[in-house]
Structure 1
């Protein structure tokens, strides 16, 4: 986009988990020139601008989805596909030019692109993109955590995710009904939340992750998390009503049949074509929703609840039950609470242990097969070396990231005399997985 001249008509570009869009509105000549220039730039990227564009991205600070949804996806899928949503990686200033060229060659070509127009094709339109093989998106993404379970994460508010079929009309309606119930309960009745966001994320082969995320008034995150789970259990046990289904159906009908929705409807058709999905027009989708009974919607949600993951802000402590009254499992990255006998143990500095009870309880274990870290709550986090997906070089320290979502900081700010630990990490992890910490992103080791 930086190659384009100053434009006085509407235009933009965006990146989501599965798609990149370049959009413009204007006269036929303006749209044609925009599309041609974008394709020319994609065919020959202006890599001399990487340093400046990295700074722009760091200033923007945007993610591909909201932070709670991102954590839910990463917890479900690990550091693969949609699970990468919550990961910063090395930062935009540490990505090598070869990686950018490789992504462009694999994805930004004529056989992996769809042109969407709300009018006739402009005269003289050129789309000078190279040819290439379309990526295989027909496989279902492997699930790391199946659920039902809850976990704590650095998120602004609680969120719920459940797994299901992309085109299941009963589950689509149940998802919408639960979103509205939460809005009524958390916002209008108790005044604890402003926004309840819902989304569906395609994860391959007709599968989708349904998410619901709430913001929370400061200090009331625990209550909002409990409300979220209570409403989910209530729907699974008592189902939905005919009136609720009719209300949501009316909402879908109003949105999908609005003449102003034509561009988004074309975008939906284009996404289906790129992702290998069968596109259904709005009347067909509405007809399927109209046939759903309350019993079907309730049963679909009860089945999906068996896959539920609940994200809870780190400082909120909750006690949650399943439908049968048993405790809902809290997932952590390791099931052990003790270090193996053959690890070398590192502690915080004597000063830190003197002034902090948390530091007195903390321990870092370094062995031949991986790292262990015991926190103030006696929870032991574990990253095996054969599951390491990245090591951030932070001066004399290292941040070690595992494929299951856990990371362990091995830095002098937290541990004393860590030189042997760092040497073990560097010897065990391939050099290709190490990268210098970004000079543009804030510190992330706490």
Structure 2
């Protein structure tokens, strides 16, 4: 049965179904997403999307836009004539961006970035670092270096007619105009994994599992199966979770990331990793339980065949066309769904198992099958500038050749300038180094003896194209500077055992007491009565006030 129709609108492949609704829903999508950016251009597609949609008439017209890992979409729904007008206006803006409102939209996106972030974004960053799909975990950090010429060039390439498709839930209306520049489809570049699989890391928002799968007709079912297994075990059986979730996120032409997770009760800390690994082992070996899979496929069939949901077919066809995939009709999708069995899902579940990374709350007991994600360490650092809180804080920072080394007399980590994906800069002098593998370090000059000189040297070493100006409001706060007593007493505690520190502290107080007694005796002998207690009281008062001030 032919439900999805294809036509061409000014060089844009257009797919439509007849939903019978009096309104029209349109989705204009492009094969350009965050994975196609670099850290030094992160947020530029998002900025162009905002500029294209700004000021469109609303009222009975609903409009929205989004930038995903591999695509950017513009959605409209309302009276057909208003949708036609909006598509014409948006495509004209994409072909010739109006940059008069650039600064305002830059501020809007900066405010929006403060509301983003979560376990899914962090999981992508853990796997891919500060590049490709991992850029979803960064907050449009390159907005400050976006200039008019670069944005226009990007817009005319990313939003070209050959790089886009259009999905409609009704026949193309008369007068439909898509004023896009000509250009080819962007290829889907391979996503480079930066972190080894079978690892764990601390995730403050709860449990999150991630693994990669091949993009096959059956792989999109893997996250649903994993979510169902988490729900049955953590919520229905253990009563330790409320809202499991899952997501299927394509990251290149061949692979997708499967993500699944849940909030979890602290009562699970001792057994959580063992539980989820047992679930992953069972799914990889046997696939899902037959009844569980039957429930999942029945729900999917109901969604596919719901006449009020027919618009998804054109949307799916438009997305598949960007990949160079053939048009599929509803009966073909249902045939694929009917062919699903526990055995057909085992290969995808096994790949998910073998590439698994687990984020779990702080306090969760470790598991020997999962190694903790840790930044590579180098030998102890005994050179360079000290922390201003030395000796309580033994941290040092050393710049040798083109490598910044940060650490203490036990271990240190390196930040080679040649491996930087970006260099965040703030007006107050703070700096942020972000390596391609995702590890980062922030420098607040006031936190280091000689920190300003180090920042000046780094500014010269790091290529200008990596400098990323940041809003003043996002600058890292300098750590509090401790007073003399706090620094040295902290250093004493740091360099000695607890018993030795108590003994030295007692000796120090005995010496102070001896000095005070000697002064009192001397004052009592040579000066009028009452002067000695007054002087001692003054000294004690001064000492107490300095202690309260953190001196």
**TM-score per shorter chain, which class?**
0.7 to 0.9
For residues 245 and 375 of structure 1, the distance between their equivalents in structure 2, rounded to whole angstroms, comes to: 54
Deviation at 1:225, TM superposition (A): 5.7
**3-state DSSP class of the match of 1:116?**
strand
Q: Return the offset for 1:245.
A: 1.7
Could you tell me how far apart the structure 1 residues matched to 2:163 and 2:301 are?
31
State which of 347, 366, 369 in structure 2 corresponds to 1:319: 366
Deviation at 1:6? Answer: 4.3
TM-score by length of 2: 0.69
Measured after TM superposition, the shift of residue 15 of structure 1 is 2.1
Q: In structure 1, the residue corresponding to 2:352 is in which secondary structure?
A: helix
> Which residue number in structure 1 is paired with residue 425 of structure 2?
393
Rounded to whole Å, the distance in 2 between the matches of 1:373 and 1:286 is 57
| Superposition deviation, residue 406 in structure 1 | 0.3
Relative to 1, partners in 2 of residues 1:59 and 1:25: Cα closer, same or farther, differing over 3 Å? same
Which structure 2 residues correspond to residues 19-418 of structure 1 after superposition, within 5 A?
A: 19-61=71-113, 67-90=118-141, 92-137=143-188, 139-152=189-202, 155-169=204-218, 171-216=219-264, 227-236=275-284, 239-313=287-361, 315-322=362-369, 328-334=370-376, 336-339=377-380, 344-350=383-389, 354=392, 359-360=393-394, 362-374=395-407, 380-394=412-426, 395-418=428-451
CA deviation vs aligned residue, 1:9-68 (integer Å, no higher than 9, x gap): 22222222222222222222122111111112222222111121222223333788x622
SS at match of 2:101: helix
Contact kept, 8 Å, 1:226 with 1:318, in 2: the verdict is no
Deviates more, 1:172-181 or 1:53-62: 53-62
RMSD: 3.0
Kept in 2: contact 1:165–1:206 (CA 8 A): yes
What is the Cα deviation at residue 215 of structure 1?
A: 3.0
**1:334-389 CA distances to partner (integer Å, 9 max, x unpaired)?**
1x34247xx843332237x54xxxx44x443432242233389x674432211101
Residues 236-285 of structure 1 deviation map (CA, whole Å, 9 limit, x = unaligned): 35643221221111122122222232223322211121233445444434
Specify whether residues 302 and 128 from structure 1 end up closer, same or farther in structure 2 by C-alpha distance, changes over 3 A only. Answer: closer
Counterpart-to-counterpart distance in 1, 2:299 and 2:120: 24
The answer as to whether partners of 1:3 and 1:41 remain within 8 angstroms in 2 is no
Which one has a bigger Cα radius of gyration?
Answer: 2
Q: TM-score, normalised by structure 1?
A: 0.84
Higher helix share: 2
Aligned ranges 1:426-445 → 2 under 5 Å: 426-439=459-472, 441=474, 443=476
1:408 Cα deviation from its structure 2 partner: 1.0
Question: Kindly tell me: are residues 68 and 221 of structure 1, through their superposed partners in 2, closer, same or farther at Cα, counting changes over 3 Å?
Answer: farther
In 2: Cα distance, 1:217 partner to 1:59 partner:
32
Alpha-carbon distance between aligned partners in 2 of 1:240 and 1:191, rounded to the nearest angstrom: 21
Contact 1:382/1:406 (<8 A) preserved: no
Quick one: structure 1 residues 77 and 366, their matched pair in 2 at CA, closer, same or farther if it must change by over 3 Å?
same
Question: In the aligned structure 2, how far is the partner of 1:225 from the partner of 1:55?
Answer: 42
For 1:325, the equivalent position in structure 2 comes to none
- Give the SS at the match of 1:57: helix
Q: Distance in 2 between matches of 1:279 and 1:365?
A: 58
